[in-house]
Structures are given as C-alpha cells and as structure tokens.
Amino acid sequence: MAPSGTRTLAHSPTAAGSGGLPGMKSNDPCWCGSGRKYKRCHRGTEGRVLEGRVSPMLTVPAGIAATEYYATGEVARTDEPMVKSAETIAAMRVAGRLAAEVLAVAGAAVAPGVTTDDLDRVAHQAYIDRGMFPSTLNYHGYPKSICTSVNEVICHGIPDDRPLQDGDIVNIDVTGFIGGVHGDCNATFCVGDVDEQSRSLVEATRECRELGIAAVRPGRPISDIGKAIQGHAEACGYSVVRMFVGHGIGRQFHMSPSVPHYYAREASTILEPGMTFTVEPMINIGTWREKMWGNGWTAVTADGSRSAQFEHTLVVTDTGVEVLTPEAAA
C-alpha cells in the first residue's frame, strides 16, 4: 500500500466525456485554473479519479497499543513463521472479528456526498472504540487509517476531500492491530444508483473471493487459489490484476506467503494447517494491467475501466479453511 489522494473531475461544472469539454480547444487555458493549456492539463481526464487534498494524519490515544512503525514510518522485517501457534491464531480471531466490524461501520457511512476523508474519520473512531490501532497509519509513511479506492482505482487510494458521487463504486480496505497481531479485510460498496455493469463486476468479484477461499485445502499448492479465481473472473468476461497479490499476515502486516489471484505455476508453496494469509482478488472490467500514479502508491487500471476487490484473512485448518474476518453488521 502507499499514499495517494483521489479526486474525480466528473463533478466539474462543464465536464463531459473523455473526448473533452464542449467548446474547449486544446490550446485554451485549462478550465481548472492551473494556467496551463487544456491539452497539457486535464484533456482526456474528465470522469477519471485524480489526486485530491489529503488532511493531516489522525492521532490515536496513548492507551491503545501502537505498531512498532507508528512513530517512525519504518517497517522492520522479522523471521515470523508462516505456520502460526495456537496462541497467535486465537489473537488473530479477535483482531479479524474487530476489523470486520470496523469495515461494516465504514461501509454503512457510504453515500453520495460523503467524502472519502469522512469515511476515514468514521473508521478511525471505530478502531479506537474497539481498542484497535489502525495498521495502515504511518505504515511506510501512509497517512490514513484506511484505503479508499474509487472506480478505476485498483488499490491504495488515500482518503481525501473528494465527495462520493451517485454511481460510484468504492473499496474500503481496513486493517486493525490488537493483541500484537493484525486483521485485514476489505469490500467494495455501491454508491447510490450504480449501473448494471458495475454491479455485476462487484458481485463477480465477491464470488471470486469466495471461490478462492473454497480452494484452500491443506496439502494443496497455493496456486489452486489463483486458478479458481482466474477461471471464474474470465468466465464472467473480466480480468485479474497481477501486480498486487494476497499476503501472509500475523504479528507482521505483510509477510510470506504471496498469494497470486491468477494461476501461477510457480506459486508452489504447499498449504499447511496454521498458515494465515489474505485472499483479496482485484478484478477489472477491462485490462488487467495497471498504471501507477507519480506518488508511488496508487494503482489505477491502465485503460480507465472500473475495478473491484474483496478480502478476507484466513487460517488453514486440518480439513480446509477458517475465515478470520467474518462479515459483521454495522
């Protein structure tokens, strides 16, 4: 993950389609007031999500145990085993359940006119109410307590001053730290009256996550997960993002193993009881390829098509899998 704001021009007074604004010529001063020519500034970006204004980082009360990187933003790697102890798994059940509650609270606040920064404040308070620390806060310098990825943003959009608009879709990614471990989950929400194509994408992405989870079996290679996800996504006419994958999690936010959401023969790690990791497919209407914003954090679809994502944290059991972030009511 990485910092970035998101802001769209679809609500600008004269915004049209990607072909440009009515009556505006390439060499005219851009309508946004930047002083640059329209062709060098906002031509071709109408309706796209762009960087917005990011408010200062929120604080966490001293009584809540913080991550080791909160003070500095520097993340130290440790040699944490992929197979967790019973004690660690028990702690992760608590962290996962509470993270799912935070996601439900933030999701319930989604509505046209609500800014993604508003969602961050709602989630931040929900963490604190549960005695949790927001895992993303100052993780490699990330300035917010959740990620909010709107429309064509694949992942790692930073909450900002952009109001959600009727017809948007927004992914909210929540990770909380409590009891020395992390719980990580996300979901994509529809904002108001969303078109059928976007609704179908969101539903298919949820199905991809569930099929990926269902493929988890001890003794099987981790590539089974991506095979199940890719098969369903492509059968629905969608593509699977390659750049970003699921990850091991426990006392560290990110660790081994990597969990591709597409079939990768080289993903040959054999699943063992006690392994904890995320399954979080990112599914696109168009190309699976991404573009990175200049801030180094936010990824968007290369063709501007919409993207959706759903995530759970899991533990492999003796007979299958247990979801550690069960969906909760707000």
* Dist. CA 310–CA 181, nearest whole Å: 21
**pLDDT on residue 235:** 98
Question: Which DSSP letter does residue 30 get?
Answer: P
Contact 316, 93 (CB under 8 A): no
pLDDT at residue 294 above 60? Answer: yes
Tokens 């009556």 belong to residue: 23
Q: What is the pLDDT of residues 4-30, one digit of tens each?
A: 333 333 333 233 233 344 566 768 876
Q: For residue 188, which phi and psi values (nearest 5 degrees)?
A: -105, 130
Q: What does the pLDDT look like over 316-329, one tens digit per residue?
A: 999 999 999 999 88
Sheet holding 282-284: strands in order across?
A: 239-240, 282-284, 307-309
pLDDT band of 180, cuts 50, 70, 90: very high
What are phi and psi for residue 129, nearest 5 degrees? Answer: -60, -25
d(CA 32, CA 243): 33
Architecture of the 55-323 domain: Alpha-Beta Complex (3.90)
- CA gap 219, 238 in Å, rounded: 30
Answer yes or no: is pLDDT of 246 > 90.
yes
Q: What is the pTM of this model?
A: 0.88
Alpha-carbon distance 312 to 280, whole Å? 7
Q: What is the pLDDT averaged over residues 73-90?
A: 97
pLDDT tops 90 at residue 148: yes
pLDDT at 174 over 50: yes
The C-alpha torsion from 122 through 100 and 199 to 279, rounded to 10°, is 130
Write down the domain spans for the chain: 55-323
Give the other-Cβ count within 10 Å of 329's Cβ.
8
Quote the percentage of the chain above a pLDDT of 90.
Answer: 81
pLDDT of residue 46: 53
d(C-alpha 49, C-alpha 67), whole Å: 31
Which region, left, alpha or beta, applies to residue 15 given φ > 0 means left and ψ of -120 to 50 means alpha? beta
